[in-house]
Amino acid sequence: MLLDAASLYFRAFYGVPTSVTTPDGRPINAVRGFLDMTARLLTAHGPDRLVACWDDDWRPAFRVEALPSYKAHRVASEGEEEVPDELSPQVPVLVEVLAAAGVARVGAPGFEADDVIGTLATRARGPVDIVTGDRDLFQLVDDERGVRVLYTNRGIADIETVDEAAVADKYGIPGRAYADFAVLRGDPSDGLPGVAGVGAKTAAALIDEFGDLAGIRAAVARTVVPTAPLTAAVLKKLHAASDYLDRAPVVVAVATDIDLPAVEGTLPRSPADPAALAQLAEQHGLQSSLGRLGAALGWPAGALG
């Protein structure tokens, strides 16, 4: 089980009220929600391994160089990601809690959590559950290898299982064609403009007809007499977007071969640092959430002291 950590703690922050606080009154809703969601996922799906995948770089230079608009609307004045004031202090707490609990946390310099997930999912020798609220990771679903996405629709409780059939049913495209579909349609949440005037329906029709983005572009290059779905209007729009179509796939494609050390991700059967975890639980009011996580992991009674 691969957790898209930032996606989940943002979901938790907005899904659990900020009135959930530490003993001294600081919001701790994102950490509590993250731990509670993880406990539910472990109980429901019973993975053998668990990795919290981290954004060491939320807006990598190679993606910005390809498409300067990538996540540009989410850049704060200091150049960092715009994060709610009540969430920022909770992220280091979550880092400490995961370390003390013994849950593997993996990032890679210059890459997003998506790329860590893509690489670990590609390396895996067995089924993989990817937990995320980011649709970009739909491109990794693979029924043959048992790679699926547990998609957090709203908050932290509504989770949808997405496999190739679900992608096909939702978007009308082959299960593994999501990246090309996203390039064509665009994604405002990531600053990805898409091809102007080409919406989801047209993007799906083009992929179904020509297979993938490369096939679509080859058809555009050779078409003299336009026919549906490559009508004269669509052909004009694709010609106009040629430069964008050269650059956008670099932004959308999840890396699957970044340089990562071997990652075990073995479920911790007891806390890695019980004393530190007990202190964190007391300081931040996390006893109940860590109790649920410990129960899901099979920790012995009294593991938190």
Residue 305 lies in a domain: no
The CA radius of gyration of the chain, in Å to the nearest whole number, is 21
Residue 192 resides in a domain: yes
Q: Is the pLDDT at 241 greater than 70, yes or no?
A: yes
CATH number of the domain bearing residue 237: 1.10.150.20
In a shared domain, residues 235 and 166: no
Residue 140 lies in a domain: yes
Q: Which pLDDT value is given to residue 176? A: 87
Between 1-15, 143-157, 237-251, the lowest mean confidence (pLDDT) is in 143-157
Which residues sit opposite 52 in a β-bridge? Answer: 3, 105
Residue 129 lies in a domain: yes
The total number of residues shown for the chain amounts to 305
* Residues 113, 223 within the same domain: no
Amino acid at 263: V
Clarify whether residues 28 and 78 are in a common domain: yes
Give which of 97, 35, 41 is closest to 271, Cα–Cα: 97
Q: Is residue 304 part of a domain?
A: no
Domain co-membership, 167 together with 24 = yes
Counting residues of the chain whose pLDDT is more than 70, the rounded percentage is 99
SS3 161: strand
Distance CA 286, CA 249 (A): 42
Lookup result for tokens 């004393």:
275
pLDDT confidence of residue 130: 98
Average confidence score pLDDT of the chain: 95
Say how many domains are in the chain: 2
Domain with 228 in it: 178-252
pLDDT of amino acid 155: 63
Residues 157 and 292 grouped into a single domain: yes
For residues 221 and 275, membership in a common domain is answered with no
CA dihedral in degrees (183, 184, 188, 191; nearest 10)? 50
- pTM (2 d.p.): 0.95
Which residues are 230's β-sheet partners?
Answer: 227
What is the spatial distance between Cα 145 and Cα 141, in angstroms, rounded to a whole number? 9
Amino acid at site 276: A
Q: Are strands 158-162 and 2-4 parallel, antiparallel or unpaired?
A: unpaired
- 303 within a domain of the structure (yes/no): no
Q: What is the rounded CA–CA span in Å between residue 39 and residue 48?
A: 14
Question: Span 42-55, mean pLDDT?
Answer: 97
Mean pLDDT, to the nearest integer, of 41-68?
Answer: 96
217 and 96 in a common domain: no
3-class state of residue 146 by DSSP: coil
Residue 199 domain-assigned?
yes
Q: Are 198 and 234 in contact (CB under 8 A)?
A: yes
Q: What is the pLDDT of residues 244-293, one digit of tens each?
A: 999 999 999 999 999 999 999 999 999 999 999 999 999 999 999 999 99
pLDDT confidence band for 207 (50 / 70 / 90): very high
Mapped onto helix, strand or coil, the DSSP state of residue 23 is coil
114-122 mean pLDDT: 98
Q: Are residues 243 and 269 in the same domain?
A: no
Domain identity same for 78 and 128: yes
Which strand (E) or helix (H) includes residue 162? strand 158-162
- The crossing angle, in degrees rounded to 10, of helices 178-185 and 164-171 is 30
8 A C-beta contact, residue 142 and residue 301: no
161 & 226 share domain: no
Q: Which CATH number covers residue 94?
A: 3.40.50.1010
Q: Summarize the confidence of residues 59-75 as an average pLDDT.
A: 94
Query: Would you state the structure tokens that stand for residue 67, as one six-digit string?
Result: 């498409």
Together in a domain, 39 and 128:
yes
Domain identity same for 155 and 244: no
Q: Exposed (0-12), middle (13-18) or buried (19+): which is 103, by Cβ within 10 Å?
A: buried
Asked whether residue 138 is domain-assigned, the answer is yes
Residue 305 pLDDT greater than 80, yes or no = no
**Which backbone phi and psi does 149 adopt, to 5 degrees?**
-110, 130
